[in-house]
Structure 1
């Protein structure tokens, strides 16, 4: 009869190997408990790993779109508030102009109303949100509207003065300006002065904004223009009305010429209010599109996460039970290893 001997060293090494394996399984199990996902995706789902990776990538992409939509919605809210302030200021300015046309307001009062309107308009149009100018189009890093009252460099006021001088041969504050008729003034307003706001003079002297607005992807297959440019008709008309009254009402023009200016300004402000209302409606429509797109994307994210969880998700209760069992086995293995290490022939003898 043959007897096989097993040394305590062999037993100890076998326990060490088993302990190492259980420690590796414990690390994987703890990771699964914390993340709710299998520790080794490729080992667990095999050839379906590519599908899981694609789903994860699409989820990250859609979550990025949702985050972007939140920022864009906030910017559009700021835009709506700014347009509302412009509309309110325009209504006040319109009342002052109506009084000037009827002869119920003096020249200085009407001019001050125009100055206030122009200053307010410039401040609102040049406002920024999150470090970007709201009305600059894609040129978000530049101030969109030049300051009419900035005398540090040639600007809009100098351009208007030059246009007046070229039209009549003298400045608006020259005593000769008293001879300008209402028809002559109307021709100037509809001709040379209008070109300063609706021709090349606008980009040269007034606006640094781009006509092109910011285009944002609001869903995987949908984009929207999510900004308003200072170059829209309503802002141009309002700027022209305020600037021409602020400029020409400081001169030596006669009452008929001043009434012609005020009458032209009344019509332009009225048109501007309609244009601004249309712009507000367009912004509101875009806000609604973004809200709807965000809801759809969030629903897609939920569906994709459900599919992904079916592929790589784990049962948290089963994973916790497995971790607890491994911890108990490891503790038992440590105890056995300690007992085995204490065995020796000397103690036996």
Structure 2
């Protein structure tokens, strides 16, 4: 009988390699509770498992995207809440403006606060910029105020002549000037010519885009599910913000100390009414933002349910029982240790031992 230690050790080495690979795979499966080689284990069903994983990844990506959108809508709502509160405070002050000489500075300060709120940014994008989100929508309130003051001065010239004597303005004339229709100056600047002056032109296009806002009317949108898309911004060009701006501008540029008491009341009351209309519009916009967030919540709930289903599906296909995997690993570890011990003994064998 011929005994070859070389053949014995070579055969044992192959056995040892196989056991080491099996032990490594079993250890991975016990740690991760997942098949170590999905393709080998599932065969033709691998494509189904991969499809489930793609679906889960897509749903998770959408859920994360919706979180970003929801946070942005929170910022928008917070900004509009601040604008609305400030407008309500100024509205109350406007009704008694004629008693306080500092009302003009208060109105300008409110305009600057409005500018700050409308310039709210999220990740470098301005949430009130519409699709023009990379540019601050309200760049300089002084430009708008200068245009508003020029508009008022032109009205005073039409009513009182070169002296611009504001005391000559009547309640009817001021009421018309502060309306959308405007005050019509007959035979001005020449006989047979009628010219219309309206303070509200200050916040109408093209003056609004030239003097106040760089925002676009169109707003950004995002898909929150496979079938739903919502607006993800609010434009600073919204009529509600224009009304608030107009009211603040009235109080900031019209020096009511030079007006009669009756005309002072026209200005303060018109500003208050305009602010009320603006805050009503902002409330409506906040309601729309709330509706969008509710749609996000509903979409997220549906997608989370879908994600749970596909996660269970591929886990059922790719997963392994942790207890069974641990038992298999322990058994292979015992076999591996036994094989390694046998290999050591074989390596010590010598033909001389059999002579």
User: Which TM bucket (shorter chain)?
Assistant: 0.7 to 0.9
Structure 1's unaligned 5+ residue stretches are 150-154
Select 2:4's aligned residue among 2, 7, 15: 7
The yes-or-no answer on 1:37 pairing with 2:34 is yes
1:175, distance to aligned residue in structure 2 (A)? 4.5
Deviation for aligned residue 1:73: 1.9
2:138 aligned with 1:141: no
Partner deviation per Cα, 1:159-209 (whole Å, 9 max, x = no partner):
223434555558x9x842423334443444334432331222112221122
Decide which of 7, 10, 23 is 1:26's aligned counterpart.
23
* Contact 2:30-2:322 within 8 A present in 1 as well: yes
**Matched ranges for 1:28-67 at <5 A:** 28-67=25-64
> Would you say the 8 A contact 1:249–1:258 is kept in 2?
no
- Per-residue deviation, residues 68-125 of structure 1 (Å, max 9, x unmatched): 222222222222222222221111111111123xx5x24x233233123212211222
Cα distance in structure 2, aligned partners of 1:165 and 1:109: 21
> What SS does the aligned partner of 1:52 have?
helix
Query: Which residue of structure 1 aligns with residue 193 of structure 2?
Result: none
CA shift digits 1:149-168 (9 cap, x unpaired): 4xxxxx21232234345555
For 1:328 and 1:207, locate their aligned partners in 2 and report how far apart those are by CA, in whole Å: 77
Equivalent-residue separation in structure 2 for 1:330 and 1:33 (angstroms): 17
- Aligned position for 1:110: 103
Separation in 1, partners of 2:176, 2:298: 49
What is the root-mean-square deviation in Å for CA atoms of aligned residues?
2.5
Structure 2, unpaired ranges of 5+:
183-197
Is contact 1:146–1:156 with CA below 8 Å preserved after alignment? no
- 1:338 aligned partner: 344
Give the stretch that moved more between structures: 183-192 or 312-321. 183-192
- Name 1:92's counterpart in structure 2: 89
Offset, 1:128: 2.5
Contact persistence 1:138–1:214 (CA under 8 A): yes
Q: C-alpha distance in 2, partners of 1:49/1:345?
A: 52
CA distance in 1, matches of 2:255, 2:219: 35
SS at match of 2:95: helix
Per the alignment, do residues 342 and 90 of structure 1 end up closer, same or farther by CA in structure 2, a change over 3 Å counting?
same
Q: Equivalent residue of 2:85, what SS?
A: helix
Native 8 Å contact 2:240 2:279 kept in 1? yes
Structure 2 Cα separation of the partners of residues 329 and 176 of structure 1? 106
User: Does the Cα contact within 8 Å between 1:111 and 1:250 map onto a contact in 2?
Assistant: no
Q: Does 1:245 align with 2:251?
A: yes
C-alpha displacement of 1:237: 0.5
Task: Report the CA distance between 1:281 and its aligned residue.
Answer: 1.0
Q: Do the aligned residues in 2 keep the contact of 1:134 with 1:140 (CA within 8 Å)?
A: yes
Give the Å deviation of 1:246.
Answer: 0.5
Q: Is the 8 A contact 1:175 1:252 kept in 2?
A: no
Partner of 2:335: 329
State whether structure 2 residue 169 is matched by structure 1 residue 180. yes
Note the C-alpha offset of 1:56.
0.6
SS in 1 for 2:222: strand
> Does the CA contact (< 8 Å) of 1:96 and 1:113 recur in 2?
no
Length, aligned pairs only: 336
Using the alignment, how far apart are the partners of 2:121 and 2:289 within structure 1?
Answer: 17
Q: Does 1:295 align with 2:284?
A: no
